[in-house]
Amino acid sequence: MKNFFKLIKFLILISSLIISNVYAAGEKQDLLKVDWSFKSFFGKFDRASLQRGYQVYSEVCASCHSLKHLSYRNLAEKGGPEFTELEAKAIASNFEVTDGPNSDGEMFERPAKLSDKFVMPYANTQEAIAANGGAYPPDMSVLVKARGGGANYIYSVLMGYEDPPAGVELDDGVYYNKYMYGNKIKMASPLDDDIVEYADGTRATVDQMARDVTTFLQWTAEPHLETRHKMGFRVIIYLIVLTILVYFSMKKIWSRIETKV
Ligand code: HEC
């Protein structure tokens, strides 16, 4: 009997070793971890980073990735990049949208207004796929929430471009990325030092831009994060006060009951 248990123990040990090895050999890499300002319980967005992140999105990513759930007015809302309404209007007016029909029954182009949705880079999915060598650049409105690892995943993909290790062959238009599933991605590294010029004088290194645009994308995926954090704090204060009140009223009620000895 004793030997039987020994055998079972041995089998469990061996199988756990095999399982952990299989996982280690898989292509899953630990993501890079960033100490995001919005992660903690009281976490808030870094306003300047959100504004820079919008700049990176609009100057670099917007030519391929849409943000279809966002309207230009969102840029001026509380809890977001908080551009002034005038700034948001100016941003919107740089884009052309199709409107109509007019009184002659024709569609026409006009500058975008605050109420318009973000202009899409492609007319439809097929055009997006055709223009990107057969890969679809996913809409980014909720990408942070759609991927395990969230903000750290987006940041890691942006920072994860490397020369392929010896023996790994890549087709044309395919790039090696440490953090993409299967290590292959059909997006060339979109960032390069100083490809944008930040108005606030921050140096636009790849790392800085990756942080800023990820912060911006976290906000697009979770525009009410700050309100939620504030509410959570209030609820906890409320519960503490309620617990104290209930405790004292309970003491009062029970004090009238004589204890039998
Ligand atoms: C030239 C077009 C192009 C530009 C510019 C571009 N991307 Fe991409 N991106 C793509 C394509 C195509 C894919 C899909 C790749 C694949 O599936 O292999 C992709 C995929 C991604 C992914 C991986 C998504 C996933 O499925 O997990 C992330 C993250 C990403 N892009 C972020 C960005 C960011 C941030 C920017 C701007 C700094 C940007 N991209 C700029 C074309 C582009």
If you average pLDDT over residues 168-194, what whole number do you get?
A: 95
Give yes or no for residue 139 CB within 6 A of ligand 1: no
Amino acid at 98: T
Q: Are 214 and 221 in contact (CB under 8 A)?
A: no
Q: How many CB atoms lie within 10 A of CB 170?
A: 13
Per-residue pLDDT for 98 more than 80? Answer: yes
CA distances from 138 to 32, 146, 223, 247 (A): 22, 11, 19, 53
Give yes or no for residue 60 CB within 6 A of ligand 1: yes
Give yes or no for residue 221 CB within 6 A of ligand 1: no
Return the ligand 1 atom nearest residue 135 CA: 12
Give the distance (Å) from ligand 1 centre to CA of residue 135. 9
Give the distance (Å) from ligand 1 centre to CA of residue 101. 35
- Split at pLDDT 50, 70, 90, the class of 106 is very high
- Predicted pLDDT of residue 20: 56
Give yes or no for residue 52 CB within 6 A of ligand 1: no
Query: Of 3-7, 72-76, 157-161, which range is least confident?
Result: 3-7
Q: Are 72 and 92 in contact (CB under 8 A)?
A: yes
Give residues with Cβ within 8 angstroms of 134, minimum separation 6.
186
Per-residue pLDDT for 181 more than 50? Answer: yes
If you average pLDDT over residues 160-180, what whole number do you get?
A: 94
Give nearest CA residue, ligand 1 atom 24. Answer: 138
How high does pLDDT run on average in the chain?
A: 92
User: Per-residue pLDDT tens for 64-95?
Assistant: 999 999 999 999 999 999 999 999 999 999 99
What distance in Å separates the CA atoms of residue 218 and residue 151, rounded to the nearest whole number?
Answer: 6
Give yes or no for residue 213 CB within 6 A of ligand 1: yes
- Split at pLDDT 50, 70, 90, the class of 256 is confident
Give residues with Cβ within 8 angstroms of 250, minimum separation 6.
none
Give nearest CA residue, ligand 1 atom 15. Answer: 186
User: Per-residue pLDDT tens for 210-223?
Assistant: 999 999 999 999 99
Give the distance (Å) from ligand 1 centre to CA of residue 186. 8
Q: Are 81 and 54 in contact (CB under 8 A)?
A: yes
Percentage with pLDDT > 70 across the chain: 92
User: Per-residue pLDDT tens for 18-58?
Assistant: 655 555 444 457 999 999 999 988 899 999 999 999 999 99
Percentage with pLDDT > 90 across the chain: 84
Give nearest CA residue, ligand 1 atom 13. Answer: 137
- Predicted pLDDT of residue 109: 96
- Predicted pLDDT of residue 19: 58
133-166: burial string, b at 16+ Cβ within 10 Å, e else: eeeebebbbbbbeebebbbbbbbbbbbbbeeeee
- Predicted pLDDT of residue 44: 95
What distance in Å separates the CA atoms of residue 166 and residue 228, rounded to the nearest whole number?
Answer: 48
- Predicted pLDDT of residue 27: 47
Give yes or no for residue 64 CB within 6 A of ligand 1: yes
